[in-house]
Amino acid sequence: MGKQEKKEDQQEQSEACIGSAEHKQVESKVKLDAHGEMLLRQYRELRPTLQQLSDEASHLLRQALSEQGIYVTAIEHRVKTEKSLIGKLELKGAKYKDIGDITDLVGLRIITFYTDEVDKVAVIAKRLFDIDWKDSVDKRKLHELDAFGYNSLHYICRLKTGGPRFELQMRTALQHVWSTIEHDTGYKGDVKIPRVYMRQFSRLAGMMELIDDEFSRLRTVLTDYRRQTLALVKNGKLDDVPLSRDTFRSYLELHPFDHLNRRIAAVNQAELFPVSMMSYLPVFESFGLETVGDVQHFIDENSEDAYQLALSQLAITDLDILSSNTALQYLCLVYVLKHDGGRDGLKSLYDIINGENSTNGMLADLMMEQAKTLPFFGKLKTKN
Amino acid sequence: MVKTTIQEQDGNMVAILVGSLDTAAAAETEKAMSPLNDVEGKNIIIDCTDLEYISSAGLRIFLGVLQSTQVKGGHVYIKGINDNVRAVFTITGFSNIFEFM
């Protein structure tokens, strides 16, 4: 990369907050030659078209990424400012015959979480736009063994419907961080950086690449793990599946509490109001349930007594709306009582379910009174 | 019979319920609380300090307010609830979907 191009790169970086750049007439001290002035006039005429292009290309990308379920950290777009263009024309205006030869008048940048997502975004871009391969560059492949830097994938694109070309940069969040810091240090300026500092840059760049790759690898490993455990849940091998947010969520897709919920709801012909059951995961952890199989055994062993307890409470009311975690709640209450939790155990359970508050003690007392009338509680007392 | 008062306090919309929210009182209370469904950008406090009883119909009103507020990113807080009303929320499994203060 020549020195002039490096300078321009710095200027482009200073436009990093791409956003919707407003058109400002710049009182430039730079005196452009006649050709430069001609290009500038062309740019001013083209500005509304460029703004429209910037918005449309950004919209198309955003929509396509959303349809493909790809979440990115940022999608930025901007039209090159007049000030930046003047700087470019001053440096190398003669290189361009026409304003259309300048490919970055509109710039878009997509910042992804992972390296492999850069490639996915590139595939989407190829589908959405016509790519000018002659001017597109994968800077990731340009590094010499002893070179440093950490760059991104750049495509020069055109809408399928025609119009001016624009530049699309695709990079990971870490690549973006690198690029931003690199710019901030100003190492690409006029002062020659001593070799010792260049080497420090090189080492850091290598580390960033390594971290990026490791994050991608870790995500792949975790995705595989999640897939395997979910398959175990689906196949009913529940004892082999550690209990976690993901596996519990997957287990809930089997509707394990529906049967008991329907039995309880039938007491008062009640409507079941759907609510999240995920808040009970900490309760299971406090019970020491370690696998999804443990949760299944917990349901199997306590359902009948949970039903009896719910029945004793609801039958004397006319409450005909219940939350979909009613079954879960009564299962947990019974579990605590069967494990000698007593009144204090019930209060602790309510503290987890409801959050600590002054009425949890009252609720525990109420539940103890109800439980005392039930057969399972009598058996417990006899056993003890 | 429930007396319902809605007012703005410290940037929140507050509904003060006084009386017994049984099935007979539900329709009128729901109508009185309907302005809460149009609230934008504010949290809602349902002051139950003087609410003596709540029926299933009352729970449905509270759940309706919760749903319409949550989709707009707001919170619904229930204030000053007595033991009997709290027991209804707990027996029906709704005690952990509202925020109590």
- Pull the structure tokens for residue A55: 């918005």
pLDDT over 80 (residue A186): no
Pairwise CB contact (< 8 Å): A317 & B95: no
Is residue B96 within 8 angstroms of chain A, CB to CB?
yes
CA distance A197 to A184: 15
Pairwise CB contact (< 8 Å): A354 & B59: no
Q: How far is A366 from chain B (nearest CA, A)?
A: 9
Give the three-state DSSP class for A280.
helix
pLDDT in tens, A224-246: 877 777 777 777 788 888 999 98
Residue A232 falls inside a structural domain: no
Residues A200, A264, single domain; the answer is no
Q: Exposed (0-12), middle (13-18) or buried (19+): which is A265, by Cβ within 10 Å?
A: buried
CATH number at B2-100: 3.30.750.24
Q: How far is B52 from chain A (nearest CA, A)?
A: 16
Look over chain B and give the mean of its residue pLDDT values, rounded to a whole number: 91
Q: For residues A348 and A282, is the Cβ–Cβ distance under 8 A?
A: no
CA distance B65 to B30: 10
β-pair partners for A137: A154
Q: What is the ipTM of this complex?
A: 0.91
Pairwise CB contact (< 8 Å): B91 & A319: yes
Residues A287, A200, single domain; the answer is no
Rounded to an integer, the average pLDDT of B19-42 is 91
Residues A165, A267, single domain; the answer is no
Nearest by CB to residue A329, choosing from B55, B93, B100, is B93
Residue A222 falls inside a structural domain: no
CA distance B45 to B69: 11
Residues A205, A80, single domain; the answer is yes
**Residue bearing the bigger pLDDT, A308 or A234:** A308
Closest CA to A190 of A5, A2, A7, A1: A7
pLDDT over 90 (residue A26): no
Q: How far is A320 from chain B (nearest CA, A)?
A: 6
Residue A113 falls inside a structural domain: yes
Confidence (pLDDT) at A381: 60
Pairwise CB contact (< 8 Å): A355 & B55: no
pLDDT over 80 (residue A263): yes
Domain count, chain A: 2
Name the residue type at position B33: M
Residue of B nearest to A310 (CA): B91
Domain boundaries, chain B: 2-100
Residue of A nearest to B96 (CA): A354
pLDDT in tens, A326-341: 999 999 999 999 988 8
CA distance B53 to B67: 22
Answer positive or negative: Cα dihedral of A56, A61, A64, A66: negative
Q: For residues A171 and A118, is the Cβ–Cβ distance under 8 A?
A: yes
pLDDT over 50 (residue A136): yes
Residue A16 falls inside a structural domain: yes
pLDDT in tens, B42-52: 999 999 999 99
In angstroms, the Cα distances linking B60 to A72, A322, B27 are 39, 10, 11
Give the three-state DSSP class for B33.
helix
Confidence (pLDDT) at A150: 53
Q: How far is A326 from chain B (nearest CA, A)?
A: 5
What number of residues does chain B have? 101
Q: Which DSSP symbol is given to A281?
A: H
pLDDT in tens, A141-153: 555 544 444 567 8
Confidence (pLDDT) at A187: 60
- Give the dihedral of Cα atoms A57, A63, A64, A66; nearest 10 deg: 140
Mean pLDDT is highest, among A29-33, A148-152, A285-289, for A285-289
Residue A263 falls inside a structural domain: yes
Question: Where does a domain end: A175, A195, A215?
Answer: A215
Residues A190, A126, single domain; the answer is yes
Q: Which DSSP symbol is given to A242?
A: B
- Residue A209: CB partners within 8 Å, gap ≥ 6? A150
pLDDT in tens, A51-105: 999 999 999 999 999 998 899 999 999 999 999 899 888 888 788 888 988 999 9
Residues A176, A252, single domain; the answer is no
Question: Where does a domain end: A199, A215, A231?
Answer: A215
Query: How many CB pairs (< 8 A) connect A and B?
Result: 60
Nearest by CB to residue B90, choosing from A273, A328, A363, is A363
CA distance A174 to A13: 16
Its domain, for residue A136, covers 3-215
Long-range CB pairs of A27-35 (<8 Å, 24+ gap) are A28/A82, A28/A83, A28/A86, A30/A86, A30/A87, A30/A90, A32/A86, A32/A89, A32/A90, A32/A93, A33/A93, A35/A93, A35/A94
Confidence (pLDDT) at A13: 46
Residue A175 falls inside a structural domain: yes
CA distance A110 to A15: 15
Confidence (pLDDT) at A25: 46
Residues A292, A150, single domain; the answer is no
Residues A41, A164, single domain; the answer is yes
pLDDT over 60 (residue A113): yes
In this prediction, residue A380 has a pLDDT band, given cuts at 50, 70 and 90, of low
